[in-house]
């Protein structure tokens, strides 16, 4: 069964042709601490062993803007509007320079977060939902969105064990709680509620991120395999060696 | 937004037009006059916020920008200035003069290839100006003025990144020609006040000042001035 051709989420980018993109765009979504990067680290070598060429892309990792975003976050000078626009610029830079070229070359693109992160955050920050969606009208609709669902209770210890609570991930600028812990819990609860809402609206494939890492990985592989089986992919059939190194 | 009047006591006056239309000269003269009339005036210009300066410079120098990222970086600049430079003086009741506004994005970015409705959506948070002037000028006149002032046309100003022509002058003609066509479509939609930028500088300024004076008829001054007046009356 051939998959539907790719399309833009909104008005799109008129100067880009997206009707011939044989690759697959697979997105992992979920709040920080849900285990996205751990899972991706294991998914990529598995896909390559299966014979697929893989390209990775991550939120705020564009060469054009990652420094600017880091600096602006450190300076706390951002508003919800400038924050969203910077994210969108970062996203567009990666979309045009990394994601679409890789899809055109038949790669599987694994995206650590996608526009839904902006939708969830902006909703919590109080930005106009309609505006955020218009902004990301330039985005390509992914082939598969895997959502690592967790609740705030399970998230708190993981984040404390990991890199700790940071100012932005705790929503401190919203002044939700008396200290960073309170603020983190409230902010993340709201964020998770938004993700859950988006999961329904955009038909994410939800995976319970409270389970052990191996269980989650097995479920993700199962879902991805099903997708790859379903799509018509004459250029890189499973089992053939990877097309190219992605360095 | 851009269709509803803003709720602030200040006044927002913007100038638009292609490079070489003389809009900045006109805005400077207007600024002088408003200050001489005793008004509190704040000036801001396109692409001047520190937030994206580095990314913009690097992107332009290395030709890393696509029409979409070019558009979004300018939107970041605009949103940053709106928040820190435009809205606060408007809330304080000052007169804000802006050299270029969202309409610049609706022409330049669309001429570069982004979707016209998408870019309107991106800027939908922008308040509507109280007065927006469009300085209309033919391409050749703009080119003559620019070449008279400095020897070379700037890369992006000539739309060289779009790849319409390798010759900067020809590229400018083609790119800014498209921008001019797009401005014409905005005149009615956004009620831009067209000024014939071929006229004498002083006669253009005369028209501008007359229109500004009319727009300031319901203007009471800054919040502080209004408070002092009220105190004197009491």
Instruction: Give the per-residue pLDDT at A162.
Output: 76
- Cβ–Cβ contact A137 with B under 8 A: yes
Instruction: Give the per-residue pLDDT at A175.
Output: 67
Please report, for the domain that includes residue A92, its CATH number.
3.40.50.300
Query: Rounded CA gap, A231 and A6, in Å?
Result: 12
Instruction: Give the per-residue pLDDT at A1.
Output: 36
Q: Answer yes or no: are the C-beta atoms of A91 and A9 closer than 8 Å.
A: no
Q: What is the DSSP letter of B150?
A: -
Average pLDDT over residues B185-203: 96
Task: Please identify which residue in the block is written with the tokens 């939800």.
Answer: A206
A188 assigned to some structural domain = no
A101 assigned to some structural domain = yes
The two structure tokens encoding residue A216: 């989650």
- Cβ–Cβ contact A65 with B under 8 A: yes
3-state secondary structure of B41: strand
- Cβ–Cβ contact A92 with B under 8 A: yes
pLDDT over 70 at A244, yes or no: no
pLDDT over 60 at A2, yes or no: no
**Sorting pLDDT into bands at 50, 70 and 90, what band is A247?**
very low
pLDDT over 90 at A184, yes or no: no
- Residue A13 distance to chain B (closest CA, Å): 6
List the single residue in B72, B83, B113 with the smallest CB-CB distance to A14.
B113
Say whether A81 and B69 touch across the interface (CB within 8 A).
no
- Cβ–Cβ contact A66 with B under 8 A: no
Q: Helices then strands (H, E): number in chain A?
A: 9, 5
Provide the mean pLDDT of chain B.
Answer: 93
pLDDT over 70 at B92, yes or no: yes
Residue of chain B with shortest Cα separation from A9:
B118
A74 assigned to some structural domain = yes
Instruction: Say how many domains are in chain A.
Output: 1
Average pLDDT over residues B29-55: 93
Residues B169, B175, B176, B180, CA torsion sign: positive
Average pLDDT over residues B80-99: 96
List the single residue in A15, A63, A134 with the smallest CB-CB distance to B124.
A134
Query: Rounded CA gap, B231 and A122, in Å?
Result: 43
Whole-angstrom distance between the N-terminal and C-terminal Cα of chain B? Answer: 38
A70 assigned to some structural domain = yes
Q: Answer yes or no: are the C-beta atoms of B171 and B159 closer than 8 Å.
A: yes
CA atoms within 13 A on the CB side of A176: 23
Query: Which residues of A fall within a CB distance of 8 Å from B60?
Result: none
List the single residue in A14, A72, A131 with the smallest CB-CB distance to B115.
A14
Q: What predicted TM-score, i.e. pTM, was given to this entire model? A: 0.89
- Residue B52 distance to chain A (closest CA, Å): 7
Average pLDDT over residues B144-161: 83
- Residue B174 distance to chain A (closest CA, Å): 18
Instruction: Give the per-residue pLDDT at A161.
Output: 77
Instruction: Give the per-residue pLDDT at A246.
Output: 47
Residue B101 CB coordination number (10 Å): 27
Say whether B66 and A92 touch across the interface (CB within 8 A).
yes
Alpha helix (H) residue ranges in chain A: 36-49, 66-75, 80-94, 100-104, 115-125, 129-135, 152-161, 180-201, 213-230
pLDDT over 90 at B182, yes or no: yes
Say whether A81 and B125 touch across the interface (CB within 8 A).
yes
The per-residue pLDDT for range A75-134, each reduced to its tens digit, is: 767 888 998 999 999 999 999 999 999 999 999 999 999 999 999 999 998 889 999 999
Helix axes A213-230, A36-49, angle to 10 degrees: 50
Query: Which residues of B fall within a CB distance of 8 Å from A77?
Result: 51
**Sorting pLDDT into bands at 50, 70 and 90, what band is A65?**
confident
Instruction: Give the per-residue pLDDT at A73.
Output: 75
Say whether A81 and B79 touch across the interface (CB within 8 A).
yes
**Sorting pLDDT into bands at 50, 70 and 90, what band is B151?**
low
The two structure tokens encoding residue A84: 């969203």
Average pLDDT over residues A184-208: 94
Provide the mean pLDDT of chain A.
Answer: 88
Instruction: Give the per-residue pLDDT at B49.
Output: 87
Average pLDDT over residues B217-225: 91
Residue of chain B with shortest Cα separation from A13:
B114
The per-residue pLDDT for range A12-35, each reduced to its tens digit, is: 999 999 989 999 999 999 998 899
**Residue B213 or residue A240, greater confidence:** B213
List the single residue in A13, A64, A72 with the smallest CB-CB distance to B114.
A13
Point out the least confidently predicted range of B1-5, B9-13, B212-216: B1-5
Query: Rounded CA gap, B193 and B103, in Å?
Result: 13
Instruction: Give the per-residue pLDDT at A241.
Output: 56
A9 assigned to some structural domain = no
Residue of chain A with shortest Cα separation from B53:
A68
Q: Which structural domain range is residue A51 located in?
A: 24-149+203-228
**How many beta-carbon pairs below 8 A join chains A and B?**
91
Domain range B11-233, CATH architecture: 3-Layer(aba) Sandwich (3.40)
Rg for chain B, CA atoms, rounded: 18
């Amino acid at each position: 069964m051939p998959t539907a051709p790719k399309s833009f989420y909104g008005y799109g980018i008129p100067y880009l042709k997206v009707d011939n993109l044989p690759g697959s765009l697979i997105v992992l979504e979920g709040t920080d601490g849900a285990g996205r990067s751990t899972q991706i680290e294991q998914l990529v070598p598995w896909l390559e062993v299966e014979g697929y060429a893989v390209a990775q892309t991550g939120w705020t990792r564009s060469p054009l803007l990652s420094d600017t975003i880091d600096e602006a976050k450190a300076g706390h000078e951002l508003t919800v509007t400038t924050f969203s626009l910077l994210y969108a610029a970062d996203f567009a830079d990666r979309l045009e320079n990394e994601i679409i070229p890789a899809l055109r070359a038949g790669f599987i693109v694994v995206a650590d977060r996608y526009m839904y992160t902006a939708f969830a955050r902006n909703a919590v920050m109080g930005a106009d939902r309609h505006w955020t969606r218009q902004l990301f009208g330039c985005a390509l609709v992914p082939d598969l969105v895997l959502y690592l669902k967790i609740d705030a209770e399970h998230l708190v210890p993981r984040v404390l064990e990991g890199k700790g609570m940071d100012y932005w991930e705790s929503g401190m600028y919203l002044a939700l709680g008396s200290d960073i812990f309170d603020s983190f819990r409230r902010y993340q609860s709201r964020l998770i509620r938004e993700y859950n809402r988006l999961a329904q609206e955009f038909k994410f494939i939800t995976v319970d991120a409270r389970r052990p890492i191996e269980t989650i990985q097995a479920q993700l592989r199962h879902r991805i395999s099903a997708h790859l089986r379903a799509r018509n992919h004459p250029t890189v059939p499973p089992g053939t060696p990877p097309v190219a190194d992605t360095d | 937004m851009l269709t509803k009047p803003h709720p602030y006591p200040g006044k927002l006056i913007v100038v638009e037009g292609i490079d070489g239309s003389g809009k900045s000269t006109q805005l400077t003269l207007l600024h002088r006059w408003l200050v001489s009339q005793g008004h509190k005036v704040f000036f801001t210009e396109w692409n001047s916020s520190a937030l994206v300066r580095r990314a913009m410079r690097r992107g332009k120098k290395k030709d890393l920008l696509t029409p979409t990222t070019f558009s979004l970086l300018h939107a970041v600049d605009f949103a940053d200035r709106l928040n820190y430079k435009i809205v606060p003086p408007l809330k304080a009741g000052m007169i804000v003069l802006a050299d270029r506004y969202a309409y610049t994005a609706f022409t330049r970015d669309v001429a570069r290839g982004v979707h016209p409705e998408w870019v309107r959506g991106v800027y939908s948070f922008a308040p509507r100006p109280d007065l927006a002037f469009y300085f209309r000028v033919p391409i050749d006149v703009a080119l003559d003025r620019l070449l008279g002032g400095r020897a070379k046309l700037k890369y992006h100003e000539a739309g060289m990144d779009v790849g319409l022509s390798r010759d900067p002058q020809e590229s400018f003609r083609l790119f800014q020609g498209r921008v001019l066509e797009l401005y014409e479509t905005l005149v009615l939609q956004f009620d831009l006040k067209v000024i014939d930028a071929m006229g004498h500088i002083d006669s253009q300024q005369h028209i501008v000042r007359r229109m500004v004076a009319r727009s300031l008829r319901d203007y009471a001054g800054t919040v502080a001035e209004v408070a002092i007046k009220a105190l004197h009356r009491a």
